[in-house]
Amino acid sequence: METTVSTKGQIVLPAAFREEDEIQPGQVFEIERLEAGEYRIKRKAKAPNEGVVDWLLACPEKDWFAPIESESTDDLKPLL
């Protein structure tokens, strides 16, 4: 597959690759020069908790959490 370098020096990943690998705008890649004319591009792994804060802030209803009454685990009897 071919792509072209823009006047700004940007390289566009073909749509087929972006769709197949679920690449989204803003994702970060590393590029390594192997030798003259040969390069390797690799998507950086996401942090395990990336996006959690945004997800929590997107909660549609504030103060939705309501604690429930339950027995203490100290009072539970073991199953035999």
**pLDDT per position as a tens digit, 20-57:** 999 988 889 999 999 999 999 999 887 778 778 888 88
Alpha carbon distance 58, 19 (integer Å): 25
CA 27 and chain centroid, separation? 8
Per-residue pLDDT tens digits for 51-78: 788 888 887 777 767 777 776 777 777 7
Confidence label for 79 from pLDDT (cuts 50, 70 and 90): confident
Q: In 10 A of CB 23, how many CB atoms?
A: 14
In this predicted structure, what is the pLDDT of residue 52? Answer: 83
Q: Can you give the pTM of this predicted structure? A: 0.51
DSSP 3-state of 40: strand
Write down the architecture of domain 1-62 according to CATH: Ribbon (2.10)
